[in-house]
Structure 1
Amino acid sequence: MTTPDGSGATLTGLTLAGRAGHWDLTHREGRITALRPSASSGGGFVMPPLADIHVHLDKTFTAERMPHRAASLFDAIDMMSADAETWTEADLRQRARSGLARAAAHGTRLMRSHVDWHKAAPPLAWHVLRELAQDWGDRIELQLASLTPLDALQDIGPAVAQTLQAEGGVMGAFVYRNDDLPAKLATVFDLAERHGLDLDFHVDEGLDPEAQGIDAIIAETARRGMAGRVLCGHGCALSVRDAAEVQRLLDRAASAGVGLTVLPGANSYLQDASAGRTPRLRGLAPLQEARHAGVPVMLGSDNVRDGFFPYGDYDLWDLYRLAVLTGHLDPETWLDAISATPARWMGRDLSLREGGPASFIRIAASGPADAVSRASAAREIWQDGRRMPGIQGEHA
């Protein structure tokens, strides 16, 4: 409705994420001009836009090209590596653009995509995604992170770091039971310090208790005082390690200022996979224990319709529903894991506040628990005071 004094459009009787009671939200010229307690109700549930800190736009929408269902993480890596040999600029652009369009239509405003990087020179996908970041900046702010096997970074790391510094990227590495791990990580941290880079690791993505790369990363982060600049994704091996040992590790992670990204989609799909057998172990990192210890915990979409995970639609809210169910999370108190916390980690603020952008998600539900319970509840995406169109077509 429009207020009688002409101050702008007002949505009434809203349930706002993180606030008790009901609220009226008034916006004008793309900004929130007032948030006031409301005597009305039934206006729907409103939360900030979404921040998806861990995706793979270079690999996305390739599932139909895979020769078989991945039998393991490393089987998926092999299949995707073979498919990458066929990637062209047009192919990459079409697939990544589809991913961005779907994410925007579902309410994502910030995104970080990892990009496979195996040689000194930037891969084709890096160039394509940098151009798309410029093209899509008015709808999604896209950050890019390199993704290189830790061993390979010992050789090509300086060239990668120089490009990342020049082009505003994040340095990433795949870490899993590497030999001489502390020394190799020290090289990566040296590069990050020398070039002013943040770090984002894929670490311990398996069910071997001996996979303890995250321990070394936490120790190195603490030694160098790099709190708030080092993020660890996956951490599946933490789910099968001794609970007391993990608790001590999480306490050290909190003290060091290391963040944790949990990826329930692809991890639940790939871990403990065996044909004709129901998985017993799902590889879900201990997100409740991590948050209790004081570790910033985030959730990400990870792989979408590729060799690692043949499902998904860049719908971080749907991923949140999965995390609530698999992680036994309270839907009222974990919303920051898909919005405020990853946004802060990416240097942005998506909070709903007077004077801030009139950008938010409105779901036809009475609150987070109701919205999680009803997957088909109508969802509106508002950006700068305008209601945005939904997905159009197969490859929107």
Structure 2
Amino acid sequence: MKTAAVPKQRNVTLGNVRVPVSLVADAQTFGGRRERDCLAGHLVIRDGRIAALTDSGAADVDVDLGGMLVTTPFVEPHCHLDKCFTIERLDFSGGSLAEAIAAQARDKRAWTRDDLRMRATRGLEELWQAGARVVRTHIDWDVVADDPTRIPCAWQVLGELCAEWRGRITVQRSALVPIDAMADIAYADAVARAIASIGGVLGAFVFDQPSRNAGIRNMVRVAMTHDLALDFHVDEGLAPSLDGIELIARAVIDRGHRGPVLCGHACNLGSLEADTRHRRIALIAQAGLSVVSLPSSNLYLQDRGVGTPRQRGLTAIKELLGAGVNVAFGTDNVQDAFCPLGVHNPAATLAAGIIGAHLAPPLGTWLPMVATDAAAALGVQLPCIDRSAAGPLLVWDTPHVSALLSGSSRRWRSLTSIVDPARILR
């Protein structure tokens, strides 16, 4: 991720800051005093990098931040900037996943470059204001059997926006291909080659397609050939027969694949019989898969019927974490057929995940799921605060993680914008 340049400086000390322990690599040597889920003290910047957290009374300060919270930037590991903000024009009033797919497909016929640019830009602006600096957006890759390398219009528009936002937000584009199309190895290789040539991630929608195993194995094979990251929408339902994530894990293990593989949804993992769930989670851990839970769309679409739903539709978050699997939260769909509400804001997504998955306080424990751990799921290194340059770090207008996640305080400033270079340069 590109970081802002910081001028050569003497030591700069920012007084009275709070740093979430979960965003520090080595809390014991970093310094400061423990205050629940944070370390508190004076933040020392040396030559543009974070050096230490000193005792609050031990040093003169250049700027006193009054106990405000300092974090890494956020990461959005799973969204759909091609579909967002379409709900007001859809002929759809809520229904199953299949009905949402059909409604969005009907709307897609009216997409234009200007329409896509306007809606995706709005999404990127929301992400920027939310403090996100790395984003992966999925983009439908239309299957054209006789021309698998045809680049979708949405992919082109998002590519233009990637370039325009470079230096502010790193945008990854992931192709969303039906897994049955990838069962044809020639087609799979052609798509992978095209994506590799233009920069992107190879992704697919895996549900109950009869040829899903062949498609998954082909995807792993061509990803290794063309050095591509993989991203799957998988098992977005509660039926016990959905087994896509197990097939992915086995394919990755069998071929010895070491690249980043991210699996989104995995809804039925949370409701499977215990022995099956434990065995499947062990395979996921062995394969080194990352899992992204998507609370808003899964809570909205799963277990939908005529009455109040009884199952939450979230994946087995606690069990995955307990097995050492890297787990993140993603926003997924915003104001479209798959979720009629929402905003592109990782903090808001984490709040929904904490509620939906019954994740207990202290709340700062879970921040890596929309920061450092989410970045790792995308194959991106986001340094912890104690190993970071000062440029990317954010100062929030609250001392408490609870206020940040609750939405009462979401204004931020960059750490370096607070320091007056004219006063502290050599």
TM-score calculated relative to the size of structure 1? 0.90
Determine if contact 1:146/1:173 at 8 Å carries over to the other structure. Answer: yes
Q: Equivalent of 2:165, from 125, 133, 136?
A: 136
Deviation at 1:181, TM superposition (A): 3.1
Q: Equivalent of 1:349, from 350, 368, 382?
A: 382
| Unaligned residue ranges in structure 1 (runs of 5+) | 1-5, 388-396
Determine if contact 1:43/1:364 at 8 Å carries over to the other structure. Answer: no
| Separation of aligned partners in 2, 1:137 and 1:203 | 30
Match of 2:52 in 1: 35
CA spacing shift, 1:292–1:354, aligned 2, 3 Å: closer
Deviation at 1:135, TM superposition (A): 0.4
Deviation at 1:35, TM superposition (A): 3.1
Match of 1:98 in 2: 122
Deviations 1:141-200 (A, max 9, x none): 001110011012234423321111112211001001121432222222221122111110
Match of 1:359 in 2: 392
| Separation of aligned partners in 2, 1:104 and 1:8 | 29
Identity of aligned residues (%): 34
Match of 2:24 in 1: none
Match of 1:23 in 2: 41
Deviation at 1:313, TM superposition (A): 1.4
| Separation of aligned partners in 2, 1:235 and 1:269 | 15
| Separation of aligned partners in 2, 1:7 and 1:195 | 45
Greater CA deviation, 147-156 or 136-145?
Answer: 147-156
Q: Equivalent of 1:238, from 246, 264, 269?
A: 269
CA spacing shift, 1:362–1:329, aligned 2, 3 Å: farther
- The one-letter code matched in structure 2 to 1:197 is L
- The one-letter code matched in structure 2 to 1:315 is N
Deviation at 1:138, TM superposition (A): 1.3
| Unaligned residue ranges in structure 2 (runs of 5+) | 1-8, 22-26, 28-33, 58-64, 419-426
- The one-letter code matched in structure 2 to 1:44 is M
Determine if contact 2:347/2:404 at 8 Å carries over to the other structure. Answer: no
| Separation of aligned partners in 2, 1:355 and 1:318 | 24
CA spacing shift, 1:9–1:90, aligned 2, 3 Å: farther
- State whether structure 2 residue 365 is matched by structure 1 residue 333: yes
| Separation of aligned partners in 2, 1:357 and 1:200 | 31
Determine if contact 2:180/2:212 at 8 Å carries over to the other structure. Answer: no
Q: Equivalent of 1:305, from 335, 360, 363?
A: 335
TM-score calculated relative to the size of structure 2? 0.84
Question: What is the root-mean-square deviation of aligned Cα atoms in Å?
Answer: 2.1
Match of 2:61 in 1: none
- The one-letter code matched in structure 1 to 2:40 is H
Deviation at 1:386, TM superposition (A): 2.7
| Separation of aligned partners in 2, 1:378 and 1:185 | 40
Greater CA deviation, 222-231 or 163-172?
Answer: 222-231
- State whether structure 2 residue 143 is matched by structure 1 residue 116: no
Match of 1:205 in 2: 236
Determine if contact 2:175/2:204 at 8 Å carries over to the other structure. Answer: yes
Q: Secondary structure at the match of 1:310?
A: coil
Determine if contact 2:404/2:410 at 8 Å carries over to the other structure. Answer: no
- The one-letter code matched in structure 2 to 1:103 is L
